[in-house]
Amino acid sequence: MNVLRGFATTFKHILEEPVTIQYPEQSIEFQERYKGRHELHRYENGLEKCIGCALCAAACPADAIWVEAAENTDEVRFSPGERYAKTYEINMMRCIYCGYCEDACPTEAIVLGHEHRLSFTSRSEAIFTKDVLLVEAPEGTQATPQRVRPGTFDRSIPDMEDPL
């Protein structure tokens, strides 16, 4: 009798649709909160949001982020404030995608996106530099460094709507 009950279950499932996702041909929709590869964002005028404060590096539990800062001038301007990230590197292989960097960032420059294809054939490939991490400049704006009129940007950190 038990044998029959077992077969009944089997036959019931035979008729069901397979649950298998045919990855990589098809993929499930990731949740909005999913934390994938990082992106460094820009303002609408093309300047980088990152101010090189290295708080992301301080917050990083895996020591995956390396930031070196330098000072902007009006001739060579990367970000609206005084300071920008001269070097910004994330070791994708060390990063644990916890998103603390995103939380620590005072200017919402670093954001974890949804890109998840992160396989490498060597360790050095996994170090993403600033060029790789930065998103494209919005259309109609000049990529950084920009040359700006003196006095346009005189704040150390761009004024934000809600600093809290």
Kindly identify the residues of this chain, within the stretch 118-157, that bind another protein according to CB under 8 A: 118-123, 126, 154-157
Kindly identify the residues of this chain, within the stretch 40-79, that bind another protein according to CB under 8 A: 51-55, 57-58, 61-63, 66, 68-71
Please report the DSSP string for 18-76 in residue order: P----TTTS-PPPPTT---SEEE-B-TTS-BS-----HHHHH-TT--EEEEEEE--SSS
Question: Least distance from C-beta 85 to another protein, angstroms?
Answer: 10
Question: Least distance from C-beta 4 to another protein, angstroms?
Answer: 25
Residue placing its CB nearer to another protein in the complex, 50 or 137: 50
Query: What SS3 state is found at 91?
Result: strand
Residue placing its CB nearer to another protein in the complex, 2 or 26: 26
The sign one gets for the Cα dihedral 27, 25, 40, 95 is: positive
Kindly identify the residues of this chain, within the stretch 80-119, that bind another protein according to CB under 8 A: 81-83, 86-87, 91-98, 106-107, 116-119
Sorted by sequence, the CB contacts under 8 Å of residue 88 that are 6+ apart come out as 40, 50, 52, 65, 66, 67, 129, 130, 133
Residues that bind another protein (CB under 8 A): 18-24, 27, 51-55, 57-58, 61-63, 66, 68-71, 81-83, 86-87, 91-98, 106-107, 116-123, 126, 154-157, 159, 163
